[in-house]
Chains A and B, each alone.
Chain A
Amino acid sequence: MSKARDNTRVDVWQGTLALMVLTTLETMGPLHGFGLARRIEQTSGDRFVLNPGTLYPTLLKLEQEGFIASDWGTSDNNRRARFYRLTRAGLKQVERETRQWEDATSIIARFLASRGAR
């Protein structure tokens, strides 16, 4: 386990975290903050470190923008926890951002391909 915490891990890149949160909620359904963080770290192949100081402001921002909503609930081990879920606007936002990312990565990919072809 301690090996996982080596320097191959990177801090989450601010702008992308929102999309990660939204897609994770889309696939996993409602999650509390810790669950969300763990899931994102797992999905990244444990290459991301997600600090509460980074995650929670992002969650709050998304909530203020109306893409996610939250409520107090009870977690698996019977603890009080705040659960986040995707809203209808959030769903649309996932689609929109996914499209944008795909566009952006495909463009970047072409540049990288041209570099490889040289």
Chain B
Amino acid sequence: MRRLRAWLLRLASLVGAGRTDTEIREELREHRDLLAEHYAQVGMSAEAARQRAASECGSLSSAADAYSDRRGLPLLESGVRDVRMACRSLSRTPLLMVSIVAVLALGIGLSTMVVAMFHAITWVGLPVTNADAVLRLDQTFAGEYDRRVQGEASRFSYPELEIYRSSTQALDAVAGAYQATMTWRVSSEAVPVHAARVTGDYFRVLPVTPSAGRLLTASDARRPVVVISHRLWTRSFASASDAVGRAISLDRATYTIVGVAPPSFSGTEIESTDVWLPLEASYMMSGKAAVLAESNVSWLQVFGRLRPGVSVTSATADAALVAARFDSAYIGRRTTIGLTHASRLPSTLRRQALAAGGVVAFLLALLFVICGSNAASLLLARGAARQREIALRVAIGAGRTHIVRQLLAEVGVIALASGALGLLVCFAAVRLLSTSTTAQDLVQNIHADGGVFAFAFATAVAVALVCGLAPVRQALQVNCLASLKGEGSLLGARMPALRLRRVLIATQVTLSIVLLVVASLLARSASHAWRTHPGYATTGLYVVEPDAAWQPGVDAADGSRLGTELKEELARVPRVRAVSQAALAPFSGAGISQATANLSTPASPVHFNAIDGRFFETLGAPLVAGRSFAPREDGVVIVNAAMAKRFWTDERSALGKTLFIADRKVEGHLRPMEVVGVAPTLQTMHIGAPDQPTFYMPLTDTDPGMAVLIVRAEDDVPLQHLVASVVRARDADGFARVTSLAAHLASQTAPARVGVAVIGVIGLLALIVAAVGIHGLIAYTVANRTRDIGVYRALGARPRDVLQLILSWTLRGVAAGAISALLLMMFAAAAFGARLRTTLYGLHPLDPVSFALGTALLVVVIGLAIYLPARRALGMAPLDALRSDG
């Protein structure tokens, strides 16, 4: 307690509280005078007494110093002094410092942002109360099965969801959600909104506090009500307090707003959800309630809330029992159920995101080491230039600790300054990203996470600090006499830091090349992925989905007939080249069925789609062999080339053969179909990945669900308008959604493009950093050796010789770096080659183009970095160079 009090008083005196220096001196002077008086009293002459007192008191100022040391906190005071001095000395080489700080700040800022971003997406649970208890349910099927898939195969059907909800004891609540775009009619405009159709327990599984009104409950299943997102509320309703209670029209049905979700909750997907509505009610209102009864279809995402005290493992075992019950109804199918903590990514994507995050983190780590070694070598160069200064200070009595403290203060100032600037860079980058619509959803969860920021930031600053220590080590080896004489820079004299500098250059070059090569490799592979031709031109291709509530109450056959009529009307429009009808549009999912070419071998799972005769013509992907379907034809199929190759030997041999496919109406029965055509293997599931073996069967009037129209039109056809007018002619309120396939694909590949952009930026930064670093280093070396160069030139050296000399200082490091980079990449390719190849979309890890590109870029930059300072050295008159201080 006493100690604390004393310490606080000392601290207070730092800011001027308590006794001042003058008071201390006055008191000490008083003491001396009294002592002198005392001696005078005992008989000394006044002069002798004064001398005696003065000698006994010793130096007044040293006593005052001891006094004031006690008064304040000397360590802190000298720390402040060190920092002040550091700032002064750093400001003497502003350009160098700005480049070091800028380089470090970029590194710190971007890595902090990426760490926070990946943390927010993959690690953080959903922003709901007790998020740890929220699990995502996934199922995977094996063996023989036939199932319709909308989205991902791991999803559930409504009857399955109901059984899991009622039978699993380990879960308190189970809810399903179907995410889809709905059309919101605002006056005459149709606005697409991200809708989540959810079951009654949704907000029990994901409990949040509404910003206004209430959330959906189980009793809303049959009510046309909707909860809107906070974002929609602020943007489209101007945060109006009376928004609750208003009616909005979604897909032609009217819903009443009952509540507003909190700003923190934007659904369970990466894409923010705008509206939540009861699943059952929305399907009943669109007359498609039959979908809810289908049990063998994957379409609902399922979430559950873990009962308190139950482990995930036992909940999984519990759910597996239910899965086993389903399997007994579908002979030959084996279902595995998986329960994982829910984040914004489904577990499959999460693994991919983590892998991608790993790559980005690795690249950032590389960039960071480059930044660090860069800062280190720049500081080292600066340190070399300051050897005389340091030697002078040692000579006039500065202790080793004092010098180290001083240098540490400089490094600390640099680290902290770049850290602070780095945070600004980070916030700026987040702000920049949130203005772009594609990346908006990625960054919107970042701001909340202070802990991650602090962690990433502290790590970054620590690394910067460690990197700054190299010059301190060097400073300790300073040779006082030699440095003072300036011998350190004479030709042939030993330069202790030269080797360390060379190692740093080599490291930097190695890492920069690795980084650049990896970056260009990834960029090339990604652009490869999204530029791969899916087998047909996507521009000018549109998908027309007739209004989900096309005609409330009509059955599927009528819906299909209306679709056919729309098709015929659109086909008559000039400049619409082709119109086709299909059960599934490209990139919207696939049906999974069983098929075999031979009744003696068991059927295996294949994809299928139902199409009309003009499907391939509309896509612009002509059949490889055979013919397309005639109207109202049945009992025939078209197979894709992948299937022809798997079941028969090649495309031609499949024609006229019989394909046995699982009969959708009779369980376990295989229906023979004649192969009349062979289609090319297209990409209609995932961009960049050729389709699985797929068969196409004729689209009949009795197919359940709604078929979509695929339209190929010339670019300037106002298709949206045309479709709207055709639809309205039939029904004043009707409308249809028109999506451009190219735009749809662009939005699908947006995350990949953001990723490549990030990697590209990292690569670019590495290049800039390497350039700044090597330029700075060489400029410094040249500046320090100006006198050498002068001597050299005076002795008759030609510019070429001088250039050679300068190159010899650095080129060895650069060459060593390039060679070790090559070795490193070869090692990585040998170790992970097989695994890398699949992620690189078929590119070889040692792809010569990437390697050449990365190295060439660096060589050009390094060349410039060497050339500019060298030119300066050469341009100098020998006499000036000799006179120079360096």
Chain A residues near B (Cβ < 8 Å)? 1, 32-35, 37-38, 49, 51-54, 56-57, 60-61, 64-66, 75, 77, 79-82
Select A53's contact among B10, B19, B30, B63, beta carbons within 8 Å: B63
Which one of A53, A61, A82 has the highest number of Cβ atoms from chain B below 10 Å of its Cβ?
A53
| Cβ B5 vs Cβ A34 within 8 A | no
Q: How many residue pairs bridge A and B at CB < 8 Å?
A: 73
By the criterion CB–CB under 8 Å, are A80 and B37 in contact?
Answer: no
What 5 A-B pairs come out closest when comparing CB atoms?
Answer: A53-B63, A57-B70, A34-B34, A64-B6, A65-B2
B827 in the interface, Cβ–Cβ < 8 Å? no
Further 14 A-B residue pairs, CB within 8 A, beyond A56-B24, A57-B70: A1-B43, A33-B27, A34-B35, A35-B34, A49-B56, A52-B28, A52-B31, A54-B66, A65-B3, A65-B6, A75-B34, A77-B37, A79-B30, A81-B30
In the complex, chain B residues 589-608 whose Cβ is within 8 Å of any chain A Cβ: none
**18 sampled A-B residue pairs with Cβ under 8 A:** A34-B31, A34-B34, A51-B63, A52-B63, A53-B62, A53-B67, A56-B67, A57-B69, A57-B70, A60-B71, A64-B6, A64-B9, A65-B2, A65-B6, A80-B30, A81-B27, A82-B27, A82-B30
Partner of B42, one of A1, A35, A82: A1
C-alpha gap A50/B33 in the complex (Å): 15
Is B58 an interface residue when CB atoms closer than 8 A count as contact?
yes
**What chain A residues lie within 8 Å of B24 (beta carbons)?**
56
What chain A residues lie within 8 Å of B19 (beta carbons)?
Answer: 60
**Smallest CB gap from B57: residue in A:** A52
Closest residue of chain B to A79, judged by CB? B30
A65 touches B5 (CB 8 A): yes
- The reply on B473 being an interface residue by CB < 8 A is no
B70 and A61 within 8 A (CB) = yes
- With the chains together, A52 CA to B33 CA distance in Å? 12
Check A56 against B6 for contact (C-beta < 8 Å): no
Q: Does B728 contact A (CB under 8 A)?
A: no
Write out the residue numbers on chain A whose beta carbons fall within 8 Å of the beta carbon of B28: 52, 56
Asked if B31 and A33 sit within 8 Å, CB to CB, the answer is yes
Closest CB in chain B relative to A13 CB, distance in Å: 17
> Which residues of A have CB within 8 Å of B62?
53
| Interface range, B side | 20 to 34
Distance, CA A34 to CA B53, complexed state (A): 12
Q: Closest residue to A81 on the B side, CB-wise?
A: B30
Query: Which residues of chain B in 15-41 are interfacial with respect to chain A, using CB atoms and an 8 Å cutoff?
Result: 19, 24, 26-28, 30-35, 37-38
Smallest beta-carbon distance B23→chain A, Å: 8
Cβ of B31 to closest chain A Cβ, rounded Å:
5
Select from chain B the residue with minimum beta-carbon distance to A80: B30
Cα of A81 to Cα of B37 in the assembled complex, Å:
14
Given the complex, which residues of B lie within 8 Å of A54, measured CB to CB?
Answer: 66
Chain B residues with CB under 8 Å of A81's CB are: 27, 30, 34
Contacts of B5 in A (CB 8 A): 64-66
> Are A64 and B10 neighbours in the complex by a CB distance under 8 Å?
yes
Q: In the complex, which residue of chain A has the Cβ closest to the Cβ of B23?
A: A82
Residues of chain B touching chain A, judged by Cβ–Cβ distance below 8 Å, are 2-3, 5-6, 9-10, 19, 24, 26-28, 30-35, 37-38, 42-43, 56-58, 60, 62-63, 66-67, 69-71
Interface centre among B27, B43, B56, by most chain A C-beta atoms within 10 angstroms, is B27
**A-side contacts of B58, CB under 8 Å:** 51-53
Contact B31 A57 (CB under 8 A): no
Q: Which chain B positions have C-beta within 8 A of A65?
A: 2-3, 5-6
Residue in A closest to B12 when the chains form the complex, CB atoms: A64
Other-chain contact of B70, A35, A60, A79, A82 (Cβ < 8 Å): A60
Complex contacts, B57 vs chain A, CB 8 Å: 51-52
A38 engages B38 (CB within 8 Å) = yes
**Neighbouring B residues of A57 by C-beta, 8 Å:** 66-67, 69-70
Chain A residue at minimum C-beta to C-beta distance from B6: A64
B30 contacts A32, C-beta separation under 8 Å: yes
- B60 cross-chain contacts in A, Cβ below 8 A: 52
In the bound complex, what is the Cα–Cα distance between A82 and B70 (angstroms)? 18
The interface residues of chain A lying within 8 Å CB-to-CB of B32 are 52
Q: Is the CB of A60 within 8 A of B67?
A: yes
Chain B CB within 10 Å, residue with most, of A35, A56, A82: A56
Residues of A within 8 A of B63 (CB): 51-53, 56
| Set of chain A residues within 8 Å of B38, measured between Cβ atoms | 34, 38
The listed residue (B27, B33, B37) touching A56 by CB distance below 8 A is B27
Minimum CB–CB distance for B184 against chain A, Å: 72
Q: Identify which of B6, B34, B56 contacts A61 (C-beta below 8 A).
A: B6
**Distance of B4 from chain A, by nearest CB (Å):** 10
Bound state CA distance, A86 and B2, in angstroms?
16
A100 to B295, CA, bound (A): 88
How many angstroms from the CA of A3 to the CA of B70 in the assembled complex? 34
In the complex, residue of chain B having the shortest beta-carbon distance to the beta carbon of A35: B34
Query: Closest chain A residue to B18 by CB distance?
Result: A64
Q: In the complex, what's the smallest C-beta–C-beta distance from B431 to chain A, in angstroms? A: 49
A65 and B5 CA atoms in complex are apart in Å by: 6
Closest to B42 in A: A1
B66–A53 CB distance below 8 A: yes
Find chain A residues with CB under 8 A from B56 CB: 49, 51
Shortest B71–chain A CB gap in Å is: 6
**CB-based nearest B residue for A58:** B70
Which residue on B lies nearest to A38, using beta carbons? Answer: B38
A57 to B66, CA, bound (A): 7
Are B30 and A34 in contact, with the CB atoms below 8 A?
A: yes
A70 to chain B, nearest CB (A): 9
- A33 with B30: CB separation less than 8 A: yes
Nearest CB of B to A16, in Å: 17
Q: How far is the CA of A66 from the CA of B2 in the complex (A)?
A: 7
A79 to B33, CA, bound (A): 10
* Distance A13 CA – B5 CA, assembled complex (angstroms): 25
Closest to B71 in A: A60
Residue in B closest to A34 when the chains form the complex, CB atoms: B34
Tell me the complex Cα distance, A54–B57, Å. 10
Nearest-neighbor residue (CB-CB) of B62 within chain A: A53
- Smallest beta-carbon distance B6→chain A, Å: 4
Q: Which residue of A lies closest to B9 (CB)?
A: A64
Residues from chain B with Cβ under 8 Å of A64 in the complex: 5-6, 9-10
- Give every chain B residue within 8 A of A52 (Cβ-Cβ): 28, 31-32, 57-58, 60, 63
- How far in angstroms is the closest Cβ of chain A from B76? 15
Instruction: Output the residue of A52, A60, A65, A75 with the most chain B CB within 10 A.
Output: A52
Q: How far is the CA of A54 from the CA of B82 in the complex (A)?
A: 28
Q: Which residue of A lies closest to B5 (CB)?
A: A66
Residue among B3, B24, B26, B66 having the largest count of chain A Cβ atoms under 10 Å? B66
The CA of A6 and the CA of B687, in the complex, are separated in Å by 100
CB distance from B39 to the nearest CB of A (A): 8
Minimum CB distance partner of A72 in chain B: B23
* Chain A residues with CB below 8 A from B69, complex form: 57
CB distance A37 to B70 under 8 Å? no
**CA A38 – CA B37 in complex, angstroms?**
13
A113 to B56, CA, bound (A): 39
- In the assembled complex, which residues on chain A have CB atoms less than 8 Å from the CB atom of B66? 53-54, 56-57
